[in-house]
Amino acid sequence: MVHWTAEEKQLITGLWGKVNVEECGAEALARLLIVYPWTQRFFDNFGNLSSPTAIIGNPKVRAHGKKVLTSFGEAIKNLDNLKGTYSKLSELHCDKLHVDPENFRLLGDILIVVLAAHFTKDFTPACQAVWQKLVGLVAHALARKYH
Amino acid sequence: MVLSAADKSNVKAVFGKIGGQVEEYGAETLERMFITYPQTKTYFPHFDLGKGSAQVKGHGKKVAAALVEAANHIDDIAGALSKLSDLHAQKLRVDPVNFKLLGQCFLVVVAAHNPAVLTPEVHASLDKFLCAVGTVLTAKYR
């Protein structure tokens, strides 16, 4: 059973309120594909991923990044029920998409770096700790239905 | 995993940009690591880990100096950190998983202080470099 203090929830929702989901999502996914190039294996149909510039400018990467981060937003609305929120998506990532759950952890780490770059000193150590906890729990929830 | 010429150049440029602040970055990296990953505190039962701790600052300086040394000898990180590698294998025996955690926190510190420097390409190079350092420090473990 996940436990969030009121302060932790505030650190999450307070920051999330200032996030441009489309931009942040696009950047996070692009950086995932650039920093950990083996993650490109899931996106053969995305077209040109041949260079960092191509990846950053790729409209499918942008669109998918937005989709992924929008889903994150759902988690933030349901912090007390991450398992339920991600149940169907977990099945999808296992049965249809065949994504190694390690990739969820990689994306989570990338998202943290993107948030740090965006919010700079406002991304305090306390903030980082809570967000690292959140991305870890999201990764766990997405892996939960794997079999 | 191999550091390309571009990676090496990117890493040197980052440390050039950070300059003398690298010691503060080291301290902040540790501070963030202890808060974000409390299990890492188990390696420092003898430290005062409270905010502003002089011991954490001092240790952060050491960690930063090692990273700088590795960056300055990026063609032979194993050689540059050989003594540190022995120390970690024989005495400190920090579980290998923790180097990744330290690396993540260092990236966050660089991002928070120098977002403009951390382009996606530089982010990739720095991440690879930090992995390489972790690999060297755990290379003699068994």
CATH number of the domain that residue A35 is part of: 1.10.490.10
In the 8-state DSSP scheme, what is residue B105?
H
Amino acid at B104: Q
- With CA atoms as reference, the chain B residue closest to A31 would be B120
B13 Cα to chain A: minimum distance (Å): 18
CA distance B80 to B69: 7
- pLDDT for B61 equals 98
Q: Which domain holds residue A31?
A: 6-143
pTM beyond 0.80, yes or no: yes
The answer to whether A129 contacts B36, with C-beta atoms less than 8 Å apart, is: yes
Tokens of B30: 């540790």
Measured between beta carbons, the chain B residues lying within 8 angstroms of A40 are none
CA distance B56 to chain A (A): 15
User: Binning pLDDT at 50, 70 and 90, where does residue A2 land?
Assistant: confident
Give domain status of residue A1, yes or no. Answer: no
**Per the domain annotation, does A128 fall within a domain?**
yes
Instruction: Supply the pLDDT for residue A119.
Output: 98
Mean pLDDT of B82-89: 96
Closest-CA residue of chain B to A127: B36
Is there a domain that residue A122 lies in? yes
Per the CB < 8 A criterion, the answer to whether A86 and A144 are in contact is yes
Please report residues of A whose CB lies closer than 8 A to that of B126: none
Contacts of B113 in chain A (CB under 8 A): 120-121
- Non-local (6+) Cβ contacts of B114 within 8 A are B14, B17, B18
Residues of chain B found within 8 Å of residue A118, distances taken between Cβ atoms? 115
Sign of CA dihedral A99, A105, A106, A110: positive
Domains of chain B are 5-138 (1.10.490.10)
- Residue A12 is assigned to a structural domain of this protein: yes
Q: pLDDT higher for B15 or B93?
A: B15
The pLDDT of residue A41: 87
Of A113, A121, A126, the CB nearest to B123: A113
Residue B111: pLDDT over 80: yes
Number of domains, chain A = 1
The ipTM assigned to this model is 0.82
